[in-house]
A = this chain, B = another copy of it.
Amino acid sequence: MIGGGGRPALLRRINETTVLARLHQAGPLRLGDLSDRTGLSRQTVAQVVASLAGDGLVEYVEAGREAPRSPGRPARLVRLRPDAAHVVGIDIGPHRTLVVVADLTGRIVAEDRGDSSRLRGPDEMLAHVRARVRAALSRGGVARETVRAVVAGTPGIVEAEHGVVVKAPDMPGWTSIDLADRLRPGFECPVMVENDVNLAVLAERWRGHGRDAGIVVAVQWGGRVGAGILVGDRLLRGAHGAAGEMGFLPGGGGPPVGAAPFGPFERRVGTAAIAELAGDDASPEDPGAATLTAAAAGDPAALEVVDTIAARFAEGLAPLVLILDPDLVVIGGGVVRAGPALLDALGRHLRDRTLVRPALALSALGDRAVALGAARLALDDVERRLFTVRS
């Protein structure tokens, strides 16, 4: 509610933000309800809505239908235009890339998948990513000017505040890269960078299993192993952006941490270790896939491998559970193909290793978790800027 005072331009801006915030919070509203809920006069609300409609931010829809206004029918409700703003979420990985474009309501309006496994070095990777973003925007019919925030997820240690990738052992040359800066050209909006597993846990909170849990851990378990940790609504990034680095937990000997690209724990439990256990070397590009799929189909030998690898995994999950006592651990990544048998084995082997037990779940987001989390983080940023009334 705005009393007198303040310069007219500032006041108009505050009134617009107030109206947008109410529509975001409450959904479509009649002009009168909007007046009641904002404390602005009916006349002011009508002016503000007209101005926002002129900027393409709101539109009139018919009550009960919430479809765009048809000519000649009475307009009833004001709503935010879903296409008033878009965000781009990008998953940059050593083998593949995924770009998702979402509208202001969070609906995914376009996706694009790319193969990054044959790219050599950061320049080729960045050119590839820019091309995939262009393709996704074009497929969704989204004008670049409506993109209000971009978030890219990458493996490795990320200084999210500055958008810099400090190091990412399995991405050649992907070291001390100002990724946000390199992605920024062509966008008139904030471009941010975040660690991939941190984005995966945001996606679990948004569209996965973690909607109601207090402390959620999303473990990505594929060729490598890492965890994103959400405490309430807050990512636990760590002092150096290195929280959740489960892959470097001790176990099984080998070179000291930092001297090898893979950590001791991920060497023991990653998909390459699964393939080795199974004596399965048919698919070097997707190791362990055959065994995991066979386990899901009930193959006894494959189930034995899954049990062995789950026992090893419990050795590393136990310290995480003892230290964080999470409500929920969601397992994502390539191992998810083994299905419920993996979860059963994991729960069984964890039992005698911890004082309390978190709920365990398999991610239902597949390989879209990182890109979806990136879109969610971008939406958070857009919502903060569009809908926050500063006093």
Contact = CB atoms under 8 A, between A and B. Distances in A.
Interface stretch (A114-122, A128-136, A312-320, A333-341): A312-320
Interface stretch (A8-16, A200-208, A324-332): A324-332
Contacts of A327: 239
A248 interface: yes
Given A234-B231, A315-B250, A257 B157 contact: no
A214 to B, nearest CB: 6
A355 B323 contact: no
A227 B325 contact: no
B227 A257 contact: no
A322 B234 CA distance: 18
The count of identical subunits is 2
Nearest to A241: B325
**Most chain B Cβ neighbours within 10 Å, of A249, A315, A319:** A319
A243 interface: yes
A235 to B, nearest CB: 10
B257 A354 contact: yes
Interface in A122-161: 157
Interface string A233-269: 0101111111111101110000011110000000000
A257 B355 contact: yes
Contacts of A315: 250
A353 interface: yes
Interface in A214-232: 214-215, 227, 229, 231-232
Interface string A356-370: 101000000000000
B319 A238 contact: no
B234 A319 contact: no
A352 interface: yes
A239 B358 contact: yes
**Most chain B Cβ neighbours within 10 Å, of A245, A322, A327, A358:** A322
A232 to B, nearest CB: 8
A347 to B, nearest CB: 15
A236 B231 contact: yes
A234 B241 CA distance: 19
Contacts of A358: 239
A258 B350 CA distance: 12
B326 A238 contact: yes
Given A315-B250, A318-B250, A240 B325 contact: yes
Given A227-B323, A323-B227, A356 B250 contact: no
Contacts of A214: 239
Contact of A242 (B258, B320, B325): B325
Given A257-B352, A353-B257, A326 B239 contact: yes
**Most chain B Cβ neighbours within 10 Å, of A244, A353, A358:** A353
A319 B323 CA distance: 9
B248 A354 contact: yes
B249 A322 contact: yes
Interface in A291-308: none
Contacts of A259: 352
A180 to B, nearest CB: 21
Given A231-B236, A323-B227, A325-B245, A352 B157 contact: no
14 contacts: A214-B239, A215-B238, A215-B239, A227-B323, A229-B323, A239-B326, A242-B322, A242-B355, A245-B323, A248-B322, A249-B322, A250-B353, A257-B318, A258-B355
Given A157-B356, A256-B353, A259-B352, 8 more contacts: A231-B236, A242-B325, A248-B354, A257-B318, A257-B354, A258-B352, A320-B323, A323-B324
